[in-house]
Structure 1
Amino acid sequence: MYLKIHKSGSQTIVAVCDKELIGKKLKEGELVIEISEAFYKGEIASEEKIIESISNTTTANIFGSRAVQCAVDAGLVDPGCIIYIEGIPHAQLYKL
């Protein structure tokens, strides 16, 4: 899985996705999402590093079966909040 951390002022956004999704364009009705290298392709990371990064962020954007399941297993994402775009699981996390 890829892990990329974006920082903007006091905000941190963690982007995580399954490796094979980089560069894919997903469509669901009028919704079109591109899983871009610029946003998602960072370092290849272990589940432990991904869990640590998501745990310590204000916002996370997660795509793919393995990436989303990792966050669910760690108790960071509620399975009821997962959406599917072209059958690919997607979750977002916001800490207020």
Structure 2
Amino acid sequence: MRGFIVAQHSSEGRLVLAVCDSEIHGKMLEKKDVALDLSARFYKGEEMDEIDVEKLMLHSYTIHAVGKNAVAIMIKLNLGAKEDVKRVAGVPHLQIVSL
């Protein structure tokens, strides 16, 4: 089973989710002038399985997903599109804000 590290935050009473694949959690991803620090407080959370991540994503206002598996869940749930996926150091990254 694939594992994820999930951090839940709140902004104006809405759920903001930071999800990354367990195997990349704690790493620094850098590409030219872009950096994602997956050891930062924003990404510190609890380990969850795919089913729990899906449930949270469906009720989130904003999602920051990093890693092949986390991004794949967003696309599977139609919360993002493949063409919107960015890569930092070869690692997929996708962000959405629900309106």
Q: Normalised by the size of structure 1, how large is the TM-score?
A: 0.90
Q: Say whether residues 1:27 and 2:30 are aligned partners.
A: yes
CA distance in 1, matches of 2:71, 2:35: 19
CA distance in 2, matches of 1:36, 1:11: 23
**Which of 11, 16, 35 is 2:14 aligned to?**
11
Count residues with an aligned counterpart: 96
Q: Which amino acid aligns with 2:37?
A: E
Q: Say whether residues 1:76 and 2:41 are aligned partners.
A: no
SS in 1 for 2:41: helix
CA-based RMSD of the aligned residues comes to: 1.3
Same amino acid, percent of matched pairs? 28
Unpaired segments ≥5 residues, structure 2:
none
**Which of 56, 62, 65 is 1:62 aligned to?**
65
Unpaired segments ≥5 residues, structure 1:
none
CA distance in 2, matches of 1:32, 1:4: 19
User: Post-superposition, which runs of at least 4 consecutive aligned residues in structure 1 deviate over 3 A?
Assistant: none
**Which of 53, 67, 90 is 1:87 aligned to?**
90
Shift of 1:37: 4.8
CA distance in 2, matches of 1:90, 1:35: 12
SS in 1 for 2:9: strand
- 2:42 aligned partner: 39
